[in-house]
Structure 1
Amino acid sequence: MDLQDPELRKPGRIARNARLVRRRFFPKLRRFAGRIPFADELLAAYFCAFDPATPSRVKAILLGALAYFIMPADLIPDIIAGLGFTDDLTVLSAAFGMVRGHVTPEHRQRAADYLSGIATEGAEGAQPDTQP
């Protein structure tokens, strides 16, 4: 996935990625939360991407990375133990490198709060009530 691709910044692509991420992000995160060592970064990226104060270029990059995470077919299938999320981590790390200054302490705190809810209530019981 090329995060520099101008196609990612087109309004239609941003809207499609936003719809896809809103619909599929939390179910996948809850299903795999215990096996994703970078779940906090994923959530911080989600909250940044849907923050009205985030510039559209940053939203486009983050939504592209999050859409890659939730796609059922990617470079390394997520069900492969130990390797499945390495490609997702690579894409997310590249995205974070490009937009680092826009992910705020508030985004990170919302991510931590959500993850503590999953740990307390279990993956099935956690409600995405902290969604924007």
Structure 2
Amino acid sequence: MNEVKIGEILLPGDRSEQESKAQKVRRRFWPTLKRAVRQVPFSRDLVAAYYCAMDPATPLRTRGILLGALAYFVMPFDVLPDVLAMVGFSDDIAVLTAAFAAISGQIKENHYDKADTALGEEGLAA
């Protein structure tokens, strides 16, 4: 996956773009995570990123980057279709890794606490 494409996916966008992405992410996040949990090596970070992106206290730029990456993760049609065993989520992992690097340190402990609770409730905790 080329860096320009990842950069385009991670553009923070304005508030209306972010809200549109947030709605898609809210609808599709948990079903997609359940399909991907065994293929995504950092599920806890991914769920914490979800809570960080939905947190109104998160800075607009950070929220936009995370929403872009999460929207890409939940979209059923991307560079590598997610239904392909073992490789389907590899492009999603690349986008998410770039997003985590771009927002370094912005996911707070309370987001991880919510992630741990949610993963336990969903039966997805390791």
- TM, length-normalised to structure 2: 0.83
* Distance verdict in 2 for CA 1:4–1:101, change over 3 Å: farther
Equivalent position of 2:107 in the other structure: 103
Structure 1 contact 7–13 (Cα < 8 Å) conserved: no
What's the CA shift string for 1:72-117, capped at 9, x where partnerless? 1111111222211111111001001011211011111211221122
* Distance verdict in 2 for CA 1:117–1:74, change over 3 Å: same
RMSD: 2.2
- TM, length-normalised to structure 1: 0.80
What's the CA shift string for 1:15-39, capped at 9, x where partnerless? 1101111111122223433443322
> Does 2:80 correspond to 1:64?
no
> Does 2:117 correspond to 1:113?
yes
What is the one-letter code of the residue matched to 1:77?
P
What's the CA shift string for 1:34-57, capped at 9, x where partnerless? 443322121111000011210011
Name segments (4+ residues, structure 1) moved above 3 Å: 1-8
**Gaps (5+ residues) in structure 1?**
121-132
Equivalent position of 2:21 in the other structure: 17
Helix, strand or coil: the match of 2:65?
Answer: helix
User: Number of residue pairs matched?
Assistant: 121
> Does 2:41 correspond to 1:41?
no
Equivalent position of 2:87 in the other structure: 83
Higher alpha-carbon deviation: 27-36 or 49-58 = 27-36
- Distance in 2, Cα, partners of 1:118 & 1:35: 17
* Distance verdict in 2 for CA 1:56–1:40, change over 3 Å: same
Structure 2 contact 9–68 (Cα < 8 Å) conserved: no
- Distance in 1, Cα, partners of 2:60 & 2:41: 28
**Gaps (5+ residues) in structure 2?**
none
